[in-house]
Amino acid sequence: MIDRRSLLTTLGAAAAGVATSTANSAAASAATPSAPAISIPSRPDVSFLRTDELVNRERAQAVMTRENIDAFVVTQPTNVFYLGNHWPNLDRMGFRHSVFVIYPRDPQRPVTLVMSGFLHYYRYADDVELPNRIVFPYTMPEADGSAAPTRLHRVLDESLLSSREKYRRKTSAGAEPPSPSADVALQRALRHLGLTRARLAIDDPAIERLLGKQDFSGSTTPAEDHLRRIRLAKSPAEIRLMRIAAQHNVDAAMAMVATVRTAGSTGALRNRFFAEAAARGNQAVFIVIDGSSSEIADAPIRDGMAFSIDCVSSFLHYHGDFARTIFVGEPHPLMRRGTSAIFTAWQEVRSQLRPGMRFVDVQRIGRESMKKQGADFSVNFTPHSVGLWHSDHPQPSVAEGRSVEALVLEKNMVLSVDCPIMDTGMGGTCHLEDLVLIGEDGATPIHSVPPNILSV
């Protein structure tokens, strides 16, 4: 536990911008304290994303071999980014199926992208310098059905071209000849790779329809759970991104906590978290405050309150997830008992996390700890893998007899164990959550670990 004075001292280092009181007169001391200013930390170096593959290639090939998959063919932005290191521009604007990635099992076959010729030049060239990649661009059909040339920016004075612009034009020139549409480009790509009779794992029904228009005589299977299974163990590039995302998320949450006394309401507190996340380069996904994930709820913050926060934001699409309990003054004794119990249980769970442990074992250890403490609170101790999604593991399927509880911890998995108390009528709400990296001998946090209780 940390008291209010210690918390504010800590936040001065962890979230630059936490200011002291500006009271220098009787009038100033009587005024409502102003919230600390939002500071903008320096941007981390993420240039490794140009040259380091996100996907764990060795793991991908193992899963594809086991499942008899010759190639993934994906178009959903998350999967395009994971397999291609490139997030589709057009999908951000409401267009769908703008990019396809073909990721073959055979390493001798290149990873292949189907995308707009202009965006290959305009965006992809700035993002990716990975080897063994080819691009089949598409443009628009001419009157005779042929493809229009890829449109580039018009050059007014060649002597004024920047090195970046020269590189973009060179990258565009290195692509395959353009096709008049995305489906024609996809067809050409599959022929080039020798995959027209293959077993393909696809992530969108649109791909099935496009394959039906082509000379494809292979078979398809859903890709999503296979990709999530690959992503259970993070590649080195993913771990680097997860550390950045998680630390930014914690820093944004702690900077928000420093404003609890001045925020006035839970709605204002929510806005502050969103702003603090953005200042660090993260994109807020959601925040649960006092047990509510409503984005329109706005309750006053009063002395004596005790409430939980559960903060999720992403950096370059990789997620941080962090939860704590805040005491605004002195809480009800039930709150102190509850927060102490889940902290003790989480320490016991974390000390035993190892590769090979099942998700259900994680839950069992947590519940047994609560029982040993004589703590009669309802806590699920729900484990989930975190990465490109907040819950980035294969999803349960009643029809196929699969459950999350049967999943097994693996080395290089980034794991969260949710520890909220699911009871009410206890004088507030409790939560505790950190992200840990599963190693050969245990689990270590991937971000700084503030106290379990934050008193303001």
Is there a domain that residue 252 lies in?
A: yes
Say yes or no: 322 and 362 in one domain: yes
Say yes or no: 57 and 157 in one domain: yes
pLDDT over 50 at 163, yes or no: yes
Say yes or no: 261 and 217 in one domain: no
pLDDT over 70 at 402, yes or no: no
Is there a domain that residue 357 lies in?
A: yes
Is there a domain that residue 31 lies in?
A: no
Say yes or no: 226 and 149 in one domain: yes
Say yes or no: 102 and 239 in one domain: no
CATH number for the domain including 253? 3.90.230.10
Cβ atoms of residues 429 and 291 within 8 Å: yes
Which of residues 204, 231, 258 is at a domain's end?
231
Which of residues 174, 201, 231 is at a domain's end?
231
Structure confidence at residue 439 as a pLDDT band (50, 70, 90): very high
Is there a domain that residue 43 lies in?
A: no
In the prediction, which pLDDT does 244 show? 98
Say yes or no: 242 and 222 in one domain: no
CB-side neighbour CA atoms (13 Å) of 323:
25
Say yes or no: 188 and 246 in one domain: no
pLDDT over 70 at 148, yes or no: yes
**Rounded Cα gap, residues 202 and 110, in angstroms:** 18
Tokens 């949710």, residue located: 418
Domain count, the chain: 2
pLDDT over 60 at 27, yes or no: no
In the prediction, which pLDDT does 405 show? 65
Is there a domain that residue 25 lies in?
A: no
Is there a domain that residue 48 lies in?
A: no
Domain that holds residue 326: 4-17+235-455
Is there a domain that residue 23 lies in?
A: no
DSSP conformation letters of 198-249: SEEEES-HHHHHHHHTTT--SEEEE-HHHHHHHHTS--HHHHHHHHHHHHHH
In the prediction, which pLDDT does 166 show? 97
Backbone angles phi, psi at 419, to 5 degrees: -125, 50
- CA-only gyration radius of the chain, Å: 25
Structure confidence at residue 344 as a pLDDT band (50, 70, 90): very high
CATH number for the domain including 189? 3.40.350.10
The 10s digit of each residue's pLDDT in 323-336 is: 999 999 999 999 99
Beta strands in 45-194 (DSSP E): 71-74, 100-104, 111-116, 133-138
Is there a domain that residue 38 lies in?
A: no
The 10s digit of each residue's pLDDT in 49-60 is: 999 999 999 999
* pTM (2 d.p.): 0.90
Which of residues 180, 208, 231 is at a domain's end?
231
The 10s digit of each residue's pLDDT in 211-251 is: 988 889 999 999 999 999 999 999 999 999 999 999 999 99
